[in-house]
Amino acid sequence: MRVVLGEDLVLLRDGLIRLLRAHDFDVVEAVDSGPALLDALVAHRPDVAVVDVRLPPTFTDEGLRAAITARRRVPGLPVLVLSQYVEQLYARELLSDRAGGVGYLLKDRVSDVRRFVDAVRRVASGGTAMDPEVVTQLLARGARDRSLGTLTPREREVLALMAEGRSNAAIAARLFVTEKAIGKHIANIFGKLDLPLSEDDNRRVLAVLTYLEAV
Amino acid sequence: MTDHDLVREVRARLTRASLALARVPLSLLGLALVPLQLVTYPLVLVTVGVPLLLLSTALARRYTGHHRGWAAGVLGTGIPSPYRRPANRGPMTRVRTVATDPATWRDLAFLPVNAVVGTLCGVLPLALWLGGAFGFAAPLLWLNGAREVEYSLIDADTPGNVVLAPLLGVAYLVLAWWATDRVEHLHARVARWLLAPGARAALTDRVRELADSRADAVDARAAELRRIERDLHDGAQARLVSLGMSLGMAEELMARDPEAARELLAEARESSSLALAELRGLVRGIHPPVLADRGLDGALRALALAHPLPVSVDLELAGRPEPPVESAAYFAVAEALTNVAKHSGATGAWVRVRHEGGRLALMIGDDGRGGAVPTEGGGLLGVERRLGAFDGTLGVASPVGGPTIVTMELPCALSSVKTSSSSGTA
């Protein structure tokens, strides 16, 4: 699986390269600035990009903006954004093209290697990987939205785990119930959030988006 | 203007002219304070003058204070008190402050000036009104045989006098109408000229204000640094120490008891992410990253998104304020929004930001129960101090029953750099 890496801190960049290579990723290019990242993403069209939000030259949200621009030029380009902090505003921007293949994680999550690699794979295959912290913030506010307000506590729990990007099996294991029960909950969630019935896996992304847009 | 309005307006002006005349004795009375005050100065040398001086200045200040209030009422703008703050350290320092205060001398100068100007301004309007009225009375007297009565150089023998006198009377009345309020204004302006703080006193005041706000800013900064130091020491630093310990023990246990070592490593990882979480909170408190990334626009929108209530943000800025102002504005809005969430009982809030006339204007409103007041130790007072360091002001309009609107103004220039635009979803 081909990866483009955008990270300006040398230590972290080397660490990430080592970590990804150890898990059979092919790091085709590792860059350290926003413009270079955009060029690399458009040129290589990797299976997944792992990007730091804050990059030179401005040291603001250069990486995030490069990723969003790249997704506009290469629709559906899977991008996993890493950041020192989570900001709902950024999560919304990332998901604004309503396509999957997006992740937004705190940098510390890298230390849980297995989950991090999982998240990279999930994003590469068109899924989502939202940081639990984003999801928690959303849950705290969810009650004020009408459609989210109709969800039962259990359904909200399931939606939260779904937003993090977990599969039905993973959610079932986490909540100690059968996968079938989870399937039922998810069907209820889609119904209550008024998401059209289809076989499209993106409904999960849409459910998360509904969440994010509950303002 | 209908006849009725005209009558009412004339009556109002006549009342004002009469009141001005009534003030004449008061203006003359002020003259008495001049010798009193002048005499007390040499008497200070023989101590008996000390209480006398304090008494006479107090009297003079009461007197001028009344005029200050009156002039402010006439002019429609407040007149700040020009006096130096009494340094309350013994009667002699007090006397020195009072005696050397330029405002005391300006008060003294005001008394004779006011006696003259006040008398003239008091007599003139009513004299004009009466003069006008007499223009109609004189012809009646002449027709009744009072030949010796003369009216403004017109006497009973002047040809056409019976027509001329009322015509002149009308001219007087028009002049009286025109002059009544203007004369009062003139008097008030003279009073303000002498009773408002002089340029020097205003500068002294300004210096004191600046010294106060600087002291506040320095205090706030020191408190902030202490808080950061404490948070680092008790939080992240302690966690990193325990992290090092866990790692050291794991290193030792690696060969003997790999299972225990693995547990310790897991613990160490936990520690490291807690340390990071604490650092993250700390950084947010010092300078929110989103503010650095996106400026006020993005930061306030992010704030609104994270708020438990729906908050609408209406922001139009052509550029970015200087970073310290931007940060002060951000924290001020954050504090106000926190108050909304904590105390207002509102169902929604709004934030409006504009830059007009060299000032950044921020408004935060909610539909809650109102009754908010900036109290000692409260968040709003802290915001006021914080803004004060930038010459900013805070206003709270919060009638009981709501709604509450907090307005803040910060003088600042905008840089031409446009805030980096979001992808259009925010």
What string of pLDDT tens digits covers the 426 residues of chain B?
567 888 888 888 888 888 888 888 988 888 888 888 888 878 877 777 778 888 888 888 899 889 888 888 888 887 888 887 765 566 677 777 777 787 888 888 889 999 999 999 989 998 889 888 888 888 888 888 777 777 777 777 777 777 888 888 888 889 988 988 899 889 998 888 888 887 777 788 788 888 888 888 888 888 888 888 888 888 888 888 888 888 888 988 988 999 999 999 988 888 888 888 888 888 888 888 889 888 899 999 989 888 888 899 999 988 889 888 999 999 999 999 988 888 888 888 999 999 988 899 999 999 888 887 776 666 788 888 888 888 888 888 888 887 889 999 998 888 865 444 443 333
User: Would the CB atoms of A61 and B309 count as touching at under 8 Å?
Assistant: no
Chain B contact set for A107 (CB, 8 A):
276
A60–B420 CB contact, under 8 Å = yes
List, as ranges, residues 250-309 from B with C-beta within 8 Å of A: 269, 272-273, 276-277, 280, 283-284, 289-290, 292-294, 298, 301-302, 304-309
Find the helix packing angle between A153-164 and A168-175, rounded to 10°.
130
Q: What is the pTM for the complete model shown?
A: 0.63
What are the distances in angstroms from CA B205 to CA B1, B80, B193, B395, B424?
Answer: 47, 11, 18, 21, 48
Q: Is B143 on the interface with A (CB under 8 A)?
A: no
The answer regarding whether domain A134-213 maps to CATH 3.40.47.10 reads no
User: Using a CB-CB distance cutoff of 8 angstroms, which residues of chain B are in contact with residue A106?
Assistant: 276
As a whole number of angstroms, the distance between CA B218 and CA B211 comes to 10
Domains, chain B: 3-197 (no CATH), 219-285 (1.20.5), 294-425 (3.30.565.10)
Report chain B residues whose CB lies below 8 A from the CB of A113: none
Per-residue pLDDT band at A145 (split at 50, 70, 90): low
> Residue B203 burial by CB count (10 A; 0-12/13-18/19+): exposed, middle or buried?
exposed
> Structural domain boundaries of chain A?
2-130, 134-213
Average of pLDDT values for A53-61?
A: 88
Domain A2-130, CATH number (from 3.40.50.150, 3.60.40.10, 3.40.50.2300, 3.20.20.140): 3.40.50.2300
Task: Show the DSSP H helices in A3-152 as ranges.
Answer: 10-22, 34-44, 62-73, 88-95, 113-124, 132-142, 146-149
Beta carbons of B425 and A144 less than 8 Å apart: no
A165 pLDDT above the threshold of 60: yes
* pLDDT (mean) for A151-178: 85
> Per the CB < 8 Å rule, is B284 touching A87?
no
Lowest average pLDDT, out of A31-35, A117-121, B34-38, goes to B34-38
